Amino acid sequence: MPRLNLYQEEFHPSPWQQTWLAFKASHIALAGLMVLASISLLALLAPVIAPHSPLLQNPDVLLLPPVWDPSGSLTYLLGTDALGRDIFSRLLYAARTTLITSVIVVVVAMLIGVTIGAIAGMLRGVSSSVVNHLLDSLMAIPTLLIAIVIVAIMGSGLVNSMWAITLALIPQFVHYTRNYVGEEMKKDYIRASQLDGSTKRQLFFYSILPNMLEMLVVQGTLALSIAVLDISALGFLNLGAHPPSVELGALLASSIDIAYLAPWNVMLPGLCIFFLVLSINIVGDGLRSAIRKRVKN
Amino acid sequence: MMISFFRYGTLFVLTLFSLVSLSFLLAHLFPGDLLTNLSGVAPKDEKERQLLATLWAVDQSVFFRFFRYCSLIFSGEWGVSISSGLPLYDEIRRTLPATIELSFYSAVVAVVIGVPIGCLAGLKSYTKLDYTINAVAIVNYSLPVFWLGLAFILVFSLQLNWLPLSGRISLLFDIPTVTGFILIDILLSNSLNKGEAIANAIAHLAMPVLAVSLISGAALVRLLRRSVIDILDKPYIASARSRGLSSSRIFFDHVLRNALLPILPLLAIQITTLMTNAIIVETLFSWPGIGDWLLQAIYQGDYTAIRMGMLVVAALIVSLTIFVDILNRLVDPRKRMPTNATT
Amino acid sequence: MKNVTFGIVLTLLLLGCTEQSDWVKAQSAIIYCSESDPVTFNPQLDTGATTSDATAHQIYSRLLDFDPETGQIVPALASSWSISNDGLVYIFQLRKDVNFHMTRYFTPSRTFNADDVIFSFNRWRDPAHPYHRVSGGQYPYFDSLGLADNIEDIKRINGYRIEIHLKQRDSSFIAHLATDFSVILSAEYGDHLLSQNKPEKIDRFPIGTGPFKFVSYQRGQAIRYRAHAGYWGQTQTADTLIFDITQKSSLRMAKLITGECDAIAFPSQSELSVIRERADLTLTQQPALNIGFWAFNTQKPPFDNPDVRRALAYAIDKNTLLETVYLGNATRAKTLVPSASWAFHESSHDTAYNPVLSRQLLDRAKIPRGFTMTIWAMPVERSYNPNARKMAELLQQYLADVGINAQIITYDWNTFREKLGKGEHQSVLIGWSADNGDPDNFYRPLLSCDAIPSGTNRAMWCNEEYDRLIYSALQTDDVEARQAIYEDVNELLYENLPLIPIAHALRYQVYRNELKGLRINPYGGVRFAGVIKAQ
């Protein structure tokens, strides 16, 4: 007797769904995603959640320790800083600033980088080689140096540091897009489309781009973790956001002076950056493994 | 072979040229008077202004000015720092070796730690050991370097009092500067207290190097692990095994070289991350390197210093990356130009 | 072959043994963490505390000194002195057998005598002196007091006796000779440099008679000194003194804790509680003669309007500033002088916190809401203001409450002072530490007309009545008469408010227990003579 097939149709998950299923299978990756989602949610909802204004100075409660310390209080969950500002609220707003600016930086860098990379990838001949080498050497300049130059020309500030990091991230996207497009151009299905008479633009948007999205997502998460680290590093060096706006790295820098008196002032922003970057990295890792598993099968 | 060297030579010259042009452009973009930005001196009277203007060709066409700029740069006349008035060549000559020393030792430690552990993780992939190593690596990799450095200072310096937290060596040792690399300078100098000095210098190096190398090392571990896993799947490994080669033979002769090759290009990105981290660490540990110097320059609005410092550091890094590229080309048999075979 | 090799090795070893060492590790050294680079190595040229600390009591000596315990004026290079009855002639007998430093750049051929005193005084006094224009020609302390105008002549009676003739009686004159700035230079060194046509080296490679001689200076890094073997003071001193230049106060404290520094400059208020708790660190404190204030640039409108200044004074709550910035380690300031000075009056008026009144006054003076102004904040700690940045942030808040948008501006310390000197500021948070116990040392350098070009009058304020009053206070030695005059001065200041006095701070000295003999000098820079480190 033939086996009863209860299913009317077979379930063929799309590549995206395959990736998601493989991603879900890893507990760690999922945990990372949960952490990332919760941090992002908390950060984005900062104006709603934060119990106090991050700028409100209350001279009566200077350097209050966090709530788990005997002298802490519930009104100031994570304690206060040297000017009497609530650390919890400041952390939320700072995380918000860091996260939003990092995402913007990555998106802009991706758009510009992919455009340049696509054009470079579809070029041929000597010009391609020259462009390739030039771009490769551009990739070699550290973010910090670019940031210093931009800050020197335009002054310090959050927006200027964002420009610096965008400029630093673009070469990476260019490099990977160029490689990918270069590889794809050699493949048969592109040939087929070309024979069909599609223009370069149509080739890119309809044939290459959909395949590239996965690579872009992975590169994007990588770039996001770099962006968060770089933005907080620039804030730490006082080249980025300055008062009254709050940013995680700048928060850390302003607390160094009282690191001995109030170590939580220094530990907490750092912990926040760490968890943010860690969760982004874990998610990125998980995505990469998931894609690899899908490609293997 | 010669052709590729020629190509790289041209590339190097071209990149250097574009960097110099960029720095020339920066002198015009920075706020303030052009002459001050080029020479570093705010001329006090007309005579001084005339002198400087002729030297830097300010009153002439852009092309001539650029030509003059290039010749001045290459002859070592780099102007003076706006804030300290000291010649930039001397300042950079003093601070650059400190950064190179820090970066170099961090790179060495990162490789010494990262490569063996990465290979181990790759060989024993998907085992408990591998998971532990991977977890530690990803944690290290996600640490912001300034936070790690701060943690080191709080624990090792302030709490345990084991290690000093600032400078390259205790001020009690006044080592004459020969090369700028402190360990070499100590060895070259002549004194009864050499041993003490070396121990002291290493104690000062310990935390900054550790902070930077832990992060870069973690990156290396991940890269190498992935590479080794990919290699182990290759058919020639299976064939080597089937031929009965011992595992250590397989590893050292076949796996190691082939695993290291694909990551050489990725090393270029690692070098820049390493240098960025080194510069950040310099400010934490008061390490008198070029990163700290550049940051001070920015806080003081010292445009000449920023411009020249940028040029030097960028030139250095670009040369390093080209060098890694050349190395890659030399070592990787796949990339070698196909030679004409004759039977 | 073996013998030859052996011979070569032996020779090399022997050569190694007989060669001189390039360097030795410094023995019995004291490392002091200072907060900034000195502007110059001659305190005549600069009134900054950093320059004084680095040079005044290390490299140089003066004719007279202040006893740090009692504040009395005691002999130094002048072994005795007398004043004529009309107060116009001062006669000084000079000490014999005082040696100048012998360094690798200069060897003195004689001991100290009257020529050196005349050289040192005439340099700042006489515009025709060959060294007057050297290194800028600005002598801020002396210029702000107009001392050069009051000295008729300095006569050399013999090799060890000089006379100073004044034009007008000045009861504070003798005190000026004991300040950090009245150092004695070497005339022989001056001549030597002139003959080499390198006169500016006198302020960069200094020669003095102090307990330490200058060895080397690495900008932003360190200043090195060696003990002066022939020092006339003959106290037991450390062999090597090193100033480790560390700009952040938290880093200085960290280095003190790890032992990389033996003593530090200007601990910030928040660090004091940490230091008190630690058993291996010593903290000494003393009420000090200083004042922290918020000065307005009265040459820039609208700050030339006293009503605007008064409005801004009402807008801030001084008590909060005292608690938050000074952490309670200071007293509220009503006038320029603190309670430790005899010119202090308990009954002096003070402004109170009244934001409503402030807004009214601003409206009356036609200052709209949203008016922007700048507050310049010092980047360094000083005893009179341990954290100007923080104070500026607090002021920002208070001003925002009355509708004023304040921006905080800062630069690195030397650039900051340069720009202040040019009058680029609208208002500044800064202060003053007195150099001697005479109240004139507050009133004249801070607000007199003469003090504007010399840079110590941050309010750029020039008021004839004020100048007249403070000069009249110098015409009599009668303390009560002078007190009455200073009371009038205080009233004048309260009506005009060119600056808002904020606090008088305590002065601290922090060092590791191993240092013996380090004392607070309330009248000047830190002194390392007689300080040794127990092993």
Neighbours of chain B (3+ CB pairs under 8 A): A, C
| Closest chain A residue by Cα to residue C250 | A257
Does residue C421 have a pLDDT over 80? yes
Q: Which of B153, B170, B189 sits opposite C23 (nearest CB)?
A: B189
Same domain, yes or no, for B52 and B133?
A: no
Same domain, yes or no, for B66 and B102?
A: no
* Count of residues in chain B: 343
Residue-level pLDDT at B341 = 47
Does residue C9 have a pLDDT over 60? no
A123 confidence band (pLDDT: 50, 70, 90): low
- Answer whether C22 sits within 8 Å of B176, measured CB to CB: yes
H or E segment and range at residue C215 = strand C212-218
- Is A53 an 8 Å CB contact of chain C? no
Whether B35 is covered by a domain: the verdict is: yes
Same domain, yes or no, for B105 and B247?
A: yes
Neighbours of chain A (3+ CB pairs under 8 A): B, C
Among A55-59, B88-92, B303-307, C276-280, the range scoring the smallest mean pLDDT is A55-59
How many domains is chain B partitioned into structurally?
A: 2
Q: On the CB side of B153, how many CA atoms lie within 13 Å of its CA?
A: 27
For an interface test with A, the pick among C326, C329, C397 (most A C-beta atoms closer than 10 Å) comes out as: C397
Sign of CA dihedral C318, C323, C327, C330: positive
Among A8-22, B267-281, C90-104, the range scoring the smallest mean pLDDT is A8-22
How many contacts, defined by CB atoms under 8 Å, are there between A and C? 37
Domain span holding position B39: 2-74
Mean pLDDT of C387-406: 90
Residue-level pLDDT at C8 = 57
Whether B30 is covered by a domain: the verdict is: yes
Residues 278..297 of A with a Cβ closer than 8 Å to C: which?
none
- Answer whether B298 sits within 8 Å of A229, measured CB to CB: no
More confident residue, C480 or C133: C133
Mean pLDDT of C419-432: 90
Q: What interhelical angle do C187-195 and C114-125 show, nearest 10? A: 70
Q: What interhelical angle do B256-284 and B194-232 show, nearest 10? A: 140
Same domain, yes or no, for B232 and B206?
A: yes
Same domain, yes or no, for B8 and B98?
A: no
More confident residue, A242 or C81: C81
Judge: domain A39-272, CATH 1.10.3720.10: yes
**DSSP conformational letter for A79:** -
One-character DSSP codes across C157-187: EETTEEEEEESS--TTHHHHTTSTT-B---H
Terminal Cα distance for chain B, rounded: 21
Backbone angles phi, psi at C33, to 5 degrees: -85, 110
For residue C377, the distance in angstroms to the closest alpha carbon of chain B comes to 15
Among A102-106, C152-156, C384-388, the range scoring the smallest mean pLDDT is C384-388
| Closest chain B residue by Cα to residue C256 | B158
The two beta strands, C161-166 and C151-158, are antiparallel
Mean pLDDT of A4-21: 72
A126 confidence band (pLDDT: 50, 70, 90): low
**DSSP H stretches of helix in A123-262:** 126-139, 143-154, 158-185, 188-196, 200-202, 209-236, 248-255
CATH of domain C60-209: 3.90.76.10
Whether B212 is covered by a domain: the verdict is: yes
- Compute the distance between CA of residue C283 and CA of residue C276 in angstroms, rounded to an integer: 7
H or E segment and range at residue B163 = none
> Which stretch, A126-135, C254-263, C340-349, has highest mean pLDDT?
C254-263
The answer to whether the CB of C112 falls within 8 A of the CB of C210 is no
Looking at domain C1-39+213-280+518-535, its CATH architecture is 3-Layer(aba) Sandwich (3.40)
One-character DSSP codes across A77-126: TT-B-TTS-BHHHHHHHHHHHHHHHHHHHHHHHHHHHHHHHHHHHH--SH
For an interface test with A, the pick among B142, B300, B303 (most A C-beta atoms closer than 10 Å) comes out as: B142
Does residue C21 have a pLDDT over 70? no
Residue-level pLDDT at A8 = 64
Same domain, yes or no, for B119 and B244?
A: yes
More confident residue, B203 or A28: B203
More confident residue, C384 or A138: C384
Residue-level pLDDT at A129 = 67
Q: How confident is the model over C186-212, as pLDDT tens digits?
A: 999 999 999 999 998 999 999 999 999
Query: Strand, helix or coil at C506?
Result: strand
Neighbours of chain C (3+ CB pairs under 8 A): A, B
Counting residues of chain C whose pLDDT is more than 90, the rounded percentage is 42
Q: How confident is the model over A225-274, as pLDDT tens digits?
A: 989 998 899 889 888 877 677 888 888 888 887 777 778 888 888 999 99
More confident residue, A112 or A245: A112
Global pTM reads 0.81
- Answer whether A260 sits within 8 Å of C393, measured CB to CB: no
Low-confidence ranges of chain B (pLDDT < 50): 340-343
Q: How confident is the model over C438-465, as pLDDT tens digits?
A: 888 889 888 998 888 888 899 999 999 9
Same domain, yes or no, for B50 and B96?
A: no
Domain ranges for chain C, please list them.
1-39+213-280+518-535, 60-209, 290-507
- Answer whether B173 sits within 8 Å of C219, measured CB to CB: no
The answer to whether the CB of B114 falls within 8 A of the CB of B216 is yes
> Which stretch, A194-203, A263-272, C122-131, has highest mean pLDDT?
C122-131
- Answer whether C23 sits within 8 Å of B153, measured CB to CB: no
Measured at the CA of C493, the angle between CA C491 and CA C499, to 5 degrees, comes to: 150
Query: Strand, helix or coil at B33?
Result: coil
Among A243-247, C60-64, C126-130, C366-370, the range scoring the smallest mean pLDDT is A243-247
Q: How confident is the model over C223-252, as pLDDT tens digits?
A: 999 999 889 887 888 889 999 999 888 889
For residue C142, the distance in angstroms to the closest alpha carbon of chain B comes to 26
Same domain, yes or no, for B140 and B252?
A: yes
Whether B313 is covered by a domain: the verdict is: no
Mean pLDDT of A211-216: 81
**DSSP conformational letter for C459:** T
Residue-level pLDDT at C6 = 60
CATH number of domain containing B241: 1.10.3720.10
Q: How confident is the model over A37-52, as pLDDT tens digits?
A: 888 888 888 888 778 8
CATH of domain C290-507: 3.10.105.10
Residue-level pLDDT at B217 = 92
Q: Average model confidence (pLDDT) for chain C?
A: 87
Residues 297..336 of B with a Cβ closer than 8 Å to A: which?
298-299, 301, 303, 306, 310, 313-314, 317-318, 320-322, 325
Structure tokens at B173: 């040792």
Same domain, yes or no, for B43 and B96?
A: no
Strand partners, C154: C164
Amino acid at B152: F
The answer to whether the CB of C39 falls within 8 A of the CB of C50 is yes
For residue B172, the distance in angstroms to the closest alpha carbon of chain C comes to 5
For residue B320, the distance in angstroms to the closest alpha carbon of chain C comes to 30
